[in-house]
Structures are given as structure tokens and as C-alpha cells.
Amino acid sequence: MTDTPTAVITGAGRGIGRAVALLLSRNGYRVVLTARNVDELTATADECPGAAHIVPGDLTEATTVDRLFDEAADVFSPPSVLVLNAGAASSAPLPAITDEDWAHQLDLNLTAPFRCLRRAVPAMRKAGHGRVVAIASMASKQGEPYIAAYTAAKHGLLGLVRAAAAELANTGVTVNAVCPGYVDTPMTDRSVANIADRTGMSLEKARGILAAKQPIGRLIDVEEVADAVMLCVGTGAITGQGINVDGGTVQS
């Protein structure tokens, strides 16, 4: 048996998830990585300096969540850290949001994190220690046009974090959210492309519009989000929080 702790990171194939996985690995965690894209997961695992195990799958399928936690326990140990990063955004005016679009946003951004949290909590409570960090969004705290489904799901995710933190406060398990603004990731690249397609402006100008939404005048780096995750992992005195990493967009 080893005392080396285990961390599960969802959406670990690229962007924020990859940055978090690498940082946790550098800090001595064995990491279990999940996402849909096997090649991206393999690339992340190969970059990790420590032990890494991949579990490809779609987290909107309940069986994937069970397989993820079963394999984590079998290969390493039940996770003491869970980073809920998997998610995706969609953009459409309210009348154009279909039932399918709405359901997908809730399934991926809210129900899948809930299922992962539900699986992780019993072992963490038994151990008397655990850290759960959800990658939420500034959309968890304020509304913007054309992202109603995403905003509703991310508001729900922050509510889940707060309720879970209150329930687990005296168990040694903390639950927090990190709420980034616009981050330099493939998801933001898709948002930039959507803006360019709708407006006819150049990709460069569309990217500049998103960067300008933040007072620091630039997109957030994935490493800056990962640093905030590690802050939550490193202390038991922070719980129930939605930590803004948004360049000063929302002051709270």
C-alpha cells in the first residue's frame, strides 16, 4: 500500500483540465483522467511526471461515472481530490434553444458533476478528508445574452457546491467552485468562431471582444485557473466558495 493520494480530474484531455492534471501530478498526486477523446487523454497522461491512468468515456452516461470511480479505486485508491472540470457551452437566442440543447447543457454541466460528487463523498467522509473543486464559470454568478442554458446549468453547479459544502463542513471534506472568466482554451476558440460566424467579423476581432470583457484586457491562462484549484486543494479552511478568476470582472 502507498500513502500517495489520488486525484480524479474530469475533462482532463485539454485546456483547464490538462493544466490541473499536470499541476496535481507535479505536486505528488496519482491522477485518474477522464474525457471522451482518447488521444487527448493519452497526451495529458504522457505529460504527467507521476503515475496517471486514463478512463475514456462520456460522463453524461451514468455507467461512465461508475466505471471512473471503480477504476480509480482498483488502480490507485479512492480519490481524496475530485476536480469537476468537464463541461461545454452553447450559444443561441432564447427562442432558438431547443429542448435537446437545454437538456444537454444540464446533463453535462450539472448532472454529471452531481453524479461524480455523489460517488466521491462516501469514501472521503470515511477517510475524514477530501477536496472537491468544481470548475464553474462567471456564468454561475451573472447572466449574459445568448447563453441561457449554459448559465442556468452553471448557476445550478454553484448551488450544488454550496449545498454540499454546508452538508460536509464538519467531515473534513471541502467543496468549492472556481469561477473563471473567458479562458484561453479550445472552448473559447469555439465561442470566438461562433461570434465571427454570426457577425462576419474576423476571428482576431471576435477574440479581442472577449478579452476586453475582462478589466485586465486579456484572456485568462489555464495555469491561473489551475493555481486557484490548488489553493482549494491545499487548505481545509476554504469551503462553499465560488472563487473568481476573471480578471476583475465581478468584484465579490
**What is the pLDDT, as a whole number, of residue 1?**
37
Q: Is the pLDDT of residue 86 over 90?
A: yes
- Residue, of 196 and 72, whose pLDDT is higher: 72
**What is the pLDDT, as a whole number, of residue 186?**
84
Q: Is the pLDDT of residue 234 over 70?
A: yes
Which grid coordinates belong to 116? 461524480
As a whole number, mean pLDDT of residues 188-211 equals 87
The model's pTM is 0.94
> What angle in degrees, to the nearest 10, is found between the helix axes of 99-106 and 148-168?
30
Q: Which domains does the chain have, with CATH numbers?
A: 6-181+221-245 (3.40.50.720)
Mean pLDDT is lowest, of 13-17, 87-91, 174-178, 227-231, for: 87-91
**What is the pLDDT, as a whole number, of residue 2?**
55
Distance from C-alpha of 65 to C-alpha of 45, rounded to nearest angstrom: 19
As a whole number, mean pLDDT of residues 146-159 equals 97
Active site residues: 150
Q: Is the pLDDT of residue 54 over 50?
A: yes
As a whole number, mean pLDDT of residues 122-132 equals 98
User: What beta strand segments (E) does 71-110 contain?
Assistant: 81-84
C-alpha neighbours within 13 Å on the C-beta side of residue 227: 7
As a whole number, mean pLDDT of residues 154-180 equals 98
**What is the pLDDT, as a whole number, of residue 101?**
97
